[in-house]
Amino acid sequence: GKSRSQGVELELQAILTEQLNFSMSLGYTDAEYKDYTSPTGQVFDNEPFYFVPDLTASANLEYNLPLQNGIELEFSANYRHVASYTKNMGGFLGGGKELEIPKQDRVNLQATLAKENWRFTGYITNVFDAYDYNNALLSIYLADDPDNYYAAPLAPRQVGFKVSRTF
């Protein structure tokens, strides 16, 4: 069989001020089978690849605030987007139903207090507690029915604190 995959990526990094940095990335993918028939006889000609979102994006903002006595306070925010994409419930051989995996939007926040070799970091991942998943599966022992699908979810919101020391 034949296939085609093409796309473009764009990255931007900007130092907005001495303490404020911004970066972003954007990716576009156009991938499809040109001439492909699976071993089960399913024809995929001009169909998009499964598991390949056409658009991904991220943006990061970092702020560094120097304080007295060599102490620094650092803040960061991160946003990530993955467009929806299609998955075949029949696996690589095809023959199953197509299922759309919904888009994913995630925001993470972090604040760090640093002095010399020590770092004290508080963080929140998945700030809006989005229920996202990046795969859906079907047990080989169950009927091919949407009620029998199960998802592989991404992590829920997590709040934490880390202490680290560099030696």
E strand segments, the chain: 2-15, 20-35, 55-66, 71-82, 85-88, 98-101, 104-115, 118-125, 133-138, 149-153, 158-165
Confidence band for 92, pLDDT divided at 50, 70 and 90: low
Residue 45 three-state SS: coil
Residue 148 three-state SS: helix
Q: What 3 state SS string does 69-99 have? A: HHEEEEEEEEEEEECCEEEECCCCCCCCCEE
Supply the pLDDT for residue 149.
Answer: 76
* Whether pLDDT at 90 is above 70: no
Share of the chain above pLDDT 70, in %: 92
Supply the pLDDT for residue 151.
Answer: 81
* Whether pLDDT at 50 is above 90: no
Supply the pLDDT for residue 134.
Answer: 82
Supply the pLDDT for residue 88.
Answer: 77
Q: Report, as an integer, the average pLDDT of 136-161.
A: 80
Supply the pLDDT for residue 94.
Answer: 54
Confidence band for 30, pLDDT divided at 50, 70 and 90: very high
